[in-house]
Amino acid sequence: MEDYLPTIIDCIVRAVSPDKIILFGSRIRGEKGPDVDYDILVVKRGLTSRRAITHQIYMSLADIPAAVDILVATPEKIEQERHKQGFVLAEAVKGRVVYER
């Protein structure tokens, strides 16, 4: 099974110039297989439209034959949610930083 993470990171960096990219979820837990997706948190300062940035990212990943789930947040939003039980952002920040500007 091919590892698409380097390609995913490259596409995201070129599309939106993030401050940080964090891999979390099943791949961090060591799960493998064709049904295991890439859970990615993209951290970017100064977001005006999280929806627009998310759309740009998904468009940049359109040619990658792997399932990718994207979360986009500002550092401030992450800090607000960091300690809240059961929130996806709280789990995402426990992942592995795979890119940092």
pLDDT at 83: 74
Q: What is the pTM of this model?
A: 0.91
pLDDT at 82: 76
- For residue 34, the enclosing domain spans 5-100
pLDDT at 100: 97
pLDDT at 80: 84
Q: Residue-wise pLDDT tens for the chain (101 aa)?
A: 568 999 999 999 999 999 999 999 999 988 887 789 999 999 999 998 999 999 999 999 999 999 999 999 999 988 887 777 667 888 888 899 999 99
Give the amino acid at 63.
Answer: D
Query: What DSSP assignment string belongs to 3-63?
Result: --HHHHHHHHHHHH--SEEEEEGGGTTT--STT--EEEEEE-TT-S-HHHHHHHHHHHTTT
pLDDT at 93: 84
SS3 90: helix
CATH number assigned to the domain comprising residue 46: 3.30.300.90
The token pair that represents 48 in the structure block: 């005006």
| Number of domains, the chain | 1
